[in-house]
Amino acid sequence: MNINLPPDQQAFVESLVASGRFASTDEVIGECVQLLISREQLREQVQIGIEQADAGDLIDHDMMFADLRTRAAEFQHASSGQ
């Protein structure tokens, strides 16, 4: 696959490699694609949430925070080995 970037983007990619942050331009592009995948997955999840809210399928914030506290306590208990 050949990728042609505008000069400013190409210079940025090259500076990341030159700085040692990435080993190669392929690694930089791979990271970019992974970030794009993550962004699209987040966009899909947000859309699902919007559709649920529009349908009235909401969770009361008190119930949500109670559930989070319970999960945190369970996690803390499990991680302490008890």
**Chain segment 11-56, per-residue pLDDT in tens:** 999 999 999 999 999 999 999 999 999 999 999 999 999 999 999 9
With H, G, I as helix, E, B as strand and everything else as coil, classify residue 7. helix
**Total-model pTM:** 0.65
Confidence tier at 82 by pLDDT (50, 70, 90): low
Q: Yes or no: say if 22 and 11 are a contact pair by the CB < 8 Å rule.
A: no
Rounded Cα–Cα distance for residues 74 and 82 (Å)? 10
